[in-house]
Structure 1
């Protein structure tokens, strides 16, 4: 690493340390259960953090639910075991664990590799290769420094197990993602959508993953909030409105570039990326185009933002393609969201395991006459011949007739049942090809999934907003938060502890709150200290009630802007309307 790069990394680490300290001191976030020593991977969002997080969630809901015309649900966080058998989480939702033989601490093996070698994506490597890398580089335990070479790397399922009900209770799990709560309710949700594709269902809620080594404050935790959209489409006919996002500028890091020794990011537009095949799925491209300006609007630094395509080894089993939204933090890139084309995997699996119908009936423009191969087996033959397996034979014959009617051309038809082959006389199958008139067909929709990590986004917004400067010869720390997401929009202060000033200030507070603006009132300390407190928590504007307010013929107050510290006088009668317009983006402070 060059000296310049090392300095940049150290500066970034210093910023993160300062941010975490600020977050704890000013009520953004802090480790939970501190009175009992704290517990790794669990964080409490304080008054400022809960408000910022709520504003981010509201902004996401406005863009991805309301503006897109999608539904929103709120499903339970605990679900029964069969749900996760169907989804594949019981068998495939694992991380790589390596345990130190010296101190007994467990670590994510891929993180140990990434933190100490040139590998940037060790998660995509097979376990034997990870073990080889640990041995080759003589990697050591991050806790005690003992060597990890020769220690077995094992899979560790990340789900939290629980029991549902007393006594002989049913096993269940805390959901590792909010998506399954949408998929399992599809048979009912499609009715709410009047069985018309495409339609989308959103959910904002908690998810749980028993991380091996949670770290970096709220970037990697065991309980976190997701904002997910599952968008159900007909893969044959439904197309996104790419024209609406075609001109969105994006920075892409496709797999083809990651696999090169000298690969680099690509700066292009959504339209060009689709046309040139850089993004293969138009639906994924559409949601990347929607997400990028939204990230910009909530305060992510676009110079430290990109979309990275998953390599084949790290792509989830259900995903035909997947891109992550990433932000640069501490000199590293962290995932904030994933945009996956999940095809029909989820609905097909739940249909298979539940026996319910996870399809939508697609009405034809005009009825069609089609040929259908059918069977009507002679059960007086199959019953004595196959006993309890007779129904399984019927199902095999039905399946074979649907996919390969030529198999019935001879005198006997061959089927497989429990690894045994059986010959059945065709005349006993009742095989026939009939013309049928059909008004439509049942199709299994494909799913496009933008999945956002809210906690990581909150951290990114705070990190990218962190500023230090000097005002009137004093050092100042402030958060340059966008007014749309700032926890508090305006602080109101009486200049001094004076009954008349305080009464006027409290009246202004009431008027601003009645307009729906988030307001804090502060009469403690000198006015400079109060400004600094609000700057440090990111409050965009402060209103000061002074003696001019109560003495002049026209009642005015001082309005101060956080970033520039510029001030202006504004009539009290115009204050509420002006600040409301600024909050909505219809007015700039400079225009006051």
Structure 2
């Protein structure tokens, strides 16, 4: 049995996770989390919150926005146009597959993400790729929209989509948060929540799901002043990188460079992305993944999302699939805010007061009178008035993005307005902030944590989870089920629960078997109540990883366990 299969078997048997709607045969890409899996997932989430939100309380704020958003949001974000995968269908058995993945498995080719349907169809034809299920011929390659579509309310024309990322809710509410937090930059908005992606053929358990939890942060900053003071502490921190220039050359061995070197050589384009990459490395390290199993690999332009000027995937090495992505680090520029400003008509500008005058761009809109008279003869005066009232720089961005724009009911096209770009001195700068984004998939991290914690000792499974994310903190074990020992054990159990610990009580079977059950689900500490406990109020405390034991007074037990969980005490 492979390591992956052993983990999945353990997860089902002990209550971590299993396929959703299991009694109906399950549905690919959907997972249920059991009691232990829920707690483990929640603890990983809390650790992410500590690393990325709570230590930055002066400028990063967590919010919550809906999963379903109107169609216009995803039209503006570009997802309706770009959030697609390539699909191919077997003409015999009608099974459908993600085309690039199918070709990679069948031919050994790699890095096909970003290839066009035509290019993939040529490979299928040239390599003679057939259906892996029945050997049948394959259809032409087509694009498939990955958004889940729905209607909002009883009106079919009110179309909505389930969000594929939490980011858009943070972009659409940016100005509201910015104003409530006294209009200061940089400012970060974080969100943890469910997202949905209608994957073509998810077949990798927790690694590729149709519904999953995303942990995202959008850091808004002035692109003319992208400095990040926090990075100074980590300039000598080393990262294992495969920069874009190396990926383009087909280099597969990553380099190890300091953060300072990565910024100097433009391997990483801005310091905020570099800062979050350092935090990501340290966060994953605390989840039990060693540095030599981590790396950051740049995506080529053809592979990057439509909004990104640079993207690094943080990858970790797993037994079954090799390198898999656990987080993405995108430099989203001002793309999202700019597009939402244009599509919504709401300003997304930040005004920055300076202590000196600087040279700034000034945009002047010059209506083409002859064309406007010809096209809007009856409404000429109203069109001219509308053009005079709209912000010229806003109108230019709208026309540059869309080619046409509705201004007070009049469709303004690029050919009826000229723009004159000038310069002037001002002590106020108007700009749309740029964005650096770290984004993590939580379910993938659950699997990665379990694989890195899984071990077998003397044919027994010991799940050596990091202590602070273990779903259960302590198990209380009465040595025997007679006399005063069970009552004392239950007292200790209730006392520890009242102090905030997650405690399991187990009185079934031999003490050795109970230790094994606790080790298998990663409980860091076992507390055994025995005859000596009744004499001197001490208990036996056993370390899951070393199996070493010591005696601890019951009165000192809560502080001892807390120190042990935080790594301050060893047994």
TM (norm. structure 1) is 0.86
- SS of the counterpart of 1:112? helix
Q: Which is worse superposed, 98-107 or 390-399?
A: 390-399
Q: Give distance in 2, aligned partners of 1:186 and 1:326.
A: 30
Query: Which residue number in structure 1 is paired with residue 254 of structure 2?
Result: 265
SS at match of 1:364: strand
Moved more, 376-385 or 504-513: 376-385
Distance change >3 Å, CA 477–CA 195, structure 1 → 2 = same
Structure 1 residue 61, shift from structure 2 partner: 0.7
**Counterparts of 1:379 and 1:139, CA distance in 2:** 60
- Map of 2:564 onto structure 1: 582
Q: How many residues align?
A: 550
Mean Cα displacement is larger for which, 347-356 or 387-396?
387-396
Aligned counterpart in structure 2 of residue 110 of structure 1, from 100, 109, 112: 100
Match 1:232 to one of 220, 225, 234: 220
TM score, norm. by length of structure 2: 0.90
CA contact (8 A) 2:220 2:435 kept: yes
Residue of structure 1 aligned with 2:267, choices 256, 267, 278: 278
Cα distance change of structure 1 residues 143 and 301 upon mapping to structure 2, 3 Å threshold: farther
Residue aligning to 2:347: 357
Instruction: Kindly indicate whether the alpha-carbon contact (under 8 Å) linking 2:96 and 2:200 is maintained by their aligned counterparts in 1.
Output: yes
Deviates more, 1:166-175 or 1:451-460: 166-175
SS at match of 1:67: helix
Partner residue in 1 for 2:296:
307
Find the counterpart in structure 2 of residue 482 from structure 1.
Answer: 466
Q: Could you tell me how far apart the structure 1 residues matched to 2:474 and 2:232 are?
A: 39
Deviation at 1:37, TM superposition (A): 1.8
1:375 Cα deviation from its structure 2 partner: 7.4
Which position in structure 1 is the counterpart of 2:170?
182
CA distance in 2, matches of 1:400, 1:272: 37
Q: Distance in 1 between matches of 2:43 and 2:296?
A: 24
Q: Distance in 2 between matches of 1:317 and 1:422?
A: 28
Which residue in 2 is equivalent to 1:320? Answer: 309
Distance 1:47 1:373, change over 3 A: closer
| In 1, Cα distance between equivalents of 2:477 and 2:417 | 88
| Residue among 121, 128, 132 paired with 2:122 | 132
Indicate the SS of the match to 2:2. Answer: helix
Q: Against the structure 1 CA distance between its residues 373 and 86, is the aligned structure 2 distance closer, same or farther, given a 3 Å change threshold?
A: closer
For residues 253 and 333 of structure 1, the distance between their equivalents in structure 2, rounded to whole angstroms, comes to: 13
How has the CA–CA distance of structure 1 residues 401 and 577 changed in structure 2, closer, same or farther, with 3 Å as cutoff?
closer
- Cα displacement (A) at 1:402: 11
Tell me the residue number matched to 1:10: none
Q: Structure 1 residues 508 and 315 mapped into 2: Cα distance closer, same or farther (>3 Å)?
A: same
Aligned counterpart, 1:505: 489
1:101 to 86, 91, 98: 91
Which of 528, 539, 555 is matched with 2:537 structurally?
555
Residue 317 of structure 1 aligns to a residue whose secondary structure is: coil
Cα root mean square deviation, aligned: 3.0
Q: Alpha-carbon deviation of 1:118?
A: 3.0
What are the superposed Cα offsets for residues 373-426 of structure 1, whole Å, 9 maximum, x if unpaired? 7679899997698423555566778859999xxxxxxxxxxxx97576799xxx
Counterpart of 1:574 in 2: which secondary structure? helix
- SS of equivalent to 2:342: helix
Contact 1:393 1:417 in 2 (8 A): no
Gaps of 5+ in 2: 397-410
Alpha carbons of structure 1 residues 438 and 281: separation in structure 2 relative to 1, 3 Å:
closer
Measured in 2, the distance between the counterparts of 1:382 and 1:96 equals 44
Q: CA deviation at 1:73?
A: 0.5
SS at match of 1:464: helix
Q: Which of 328, 337, 354 is residue 338 of structure 1 equivalent to?
A: 328
- Quickly say closer, same or farther: Cα 1:218–1:286, change in 2 above 3 A: same
| Structure-2 change in CA distance of 1:419 and 1:532 (3 Å) | closer
Post-superposition shift, 1:367?
6.5
Q: What does 1:366-515 align with in structure 2 at a 5 Å threshold?
A: 366=356, 386-387=376-377, 388=379, 399=392, 418=413, 440-470=428-458, 475-515=459-499
Query: Which of 212, 227, 233 is the matching residue for 1:244?
Result: 233
The 3-state SS of whatever aligns with 1:333 is: strand
Could you say if the C-alpha distance between residues 264 and 563 of structure 1 is closer, same or farther in structure 2, counting changes exceeding 3 Å?
same
Distance 1:363 1:562, change over 3 A: same
**Separation in structure 1 between the aligned mates of residue 241 and residue 343 of structure 2, nearest angstrom:** 38
CA distance in 1, matches of 2:251, 2:363: 56
Contact 2:477 2:505 in 1 (8 A): yes
Match of 2:523 in 1: 539
CA distance in structure 2 between the partners assigned to 1:63 and 1:485 by the alignment: 14
- 3-state SS of the aligned residue for 1:122? coil
Distance 1:371 1:91, change over 3 A: closer
Please state how far the C-alpha of 1:144 moved relative to its aligned partner.
Answer: 2.5
The 3-state SS of whatever aligns with 2:295 is strand
How far residue 71 of structure 1 moved from its aligned partner, in angstroms, is 0.3
Cα distance, 1:294 vs structure 2? 1.2
CA contact (8 A) 2:476 2:504 kept: yes
Give the whole-Å Cα distance in 2 for the aligned partners of 1:422 and 1:402: 10
**Contact in 2 for aligned 1:373/1:402 (Cα 8 Å):** no
Between 1:501-510 and 1:361-370, the stretch displaced more is 361-370
CA distance in 2: counterparts of 1:400 and 1:532, whole angstroms: 68
Alpha-carbon distance between aligned partners in 2 of 1:331 and 1:219, rounded to the nearest angstrom: 10
C-alpha spacing 1:500/1:156, structure 2 compared with 1 (3 Å):
same
Residue 215 of structure 1 and its aligned partner are, at CA, apart by 1.2
Q: Structure 2: how far apart are the matches of 1:504 and 1:485?
A: 28
Preserved CA contact (<8 Å) 1:515 1:580: no
Of stretches 383-392 and 246-255 in structure 1, the one that deviates more from structure 2 is 383-392
Secondary structure of residue in 1 paired with 2:436: strand
Q: Residues 266, 77 of structure 1: CA spacing in aligned structure 2 closer, same or farther, 3 A cutoff?
A: same
